[in-house]
A and B are shown apart, each in its own frame.
Chain A
């Protein structure tokens, strides 16, 4: 009974490179959420997706960030041209369609050099 899976767990990028973070939701969960946790801060909502649809991206920075949840495969959070301020832990959560009980993955810790 696997939980939410995220990979990679740690990612190091140089400024200007691209970062791709992957998330596989729990079995039976069709709703995926991405949150960002900056050092010594709480978690901030970024985006909510269902299969092939971005439902709410109001927490996502307008530039360089994008997310998708294709019909097949994991959800992807993509950060283009990373900057040092993107260094953070990125968490994915998933829930069933009927209830907002969100379960989190172990996170991807992004370090931008």
Chain B
């Protein structure tokens, strides 16, 4: 019940295209859904996060779509750039501080020039 399933495992997109990464969770107690970006040899960097009271959140080229009834959420990267090439992790937890993040398995994104 604590799992977060992420797909695809890897994704190749042309520069300027849209990258879409999907996640599904099981635990209905989760109410905080962040996305992290990780470059090789670095720590995960918080990219954008959403609460279940909204269906979409946009920050620059990054958008989270959230479907509470389906228990799914996705990250859309518009106008993908080679500099976006990284591993992306979705996560889920309670919003209250002290709650562990449960991570998806990660998606390795490659944006070709």
Contact = CB atoms under 8 A, between A and B. Distances in A.
Nearest to A96: B97
Q: Which bucket holds chain B's interface residue count?
A: 20 to 34
A104 B38 CA distance: 10
B32 interface: yes
A101 B49 contact: yes
Contacts of A107: 42-43
A43 B44 contact: yes
A104 B44 contact: yes
Contacts of A6: 43
Q: Which bucket holds chain A's interface residue count?
A: 20 to 34
A98 B97 contact: yes
Contacts, number: 67
A103 B93 CA distance: 14
Given A31-B98, A42-B104, A104 B45 contact: yes
Interface in A9-58: 31, 33, 35, 41-45, 48, 50, 55-56
Given A31-B97, A98-B97, A105-B43, 8 more contacts: A6-B43, A42-B106, A45-B101, A56-B98, A91-B43, A95-B98, A102-B46, A107-B42
20 contacts: A6-B43, A31-B97, A31-B98, A33-B100, A41-B106, A42-B6, A42-B103, A42-B104, A42-B105, A45-B101, A48-B100, A93-B101, A96-B97, A98-B97, A99-B96, A100-B93, A102-B34, A102-B101, A104-B44, A107-B42
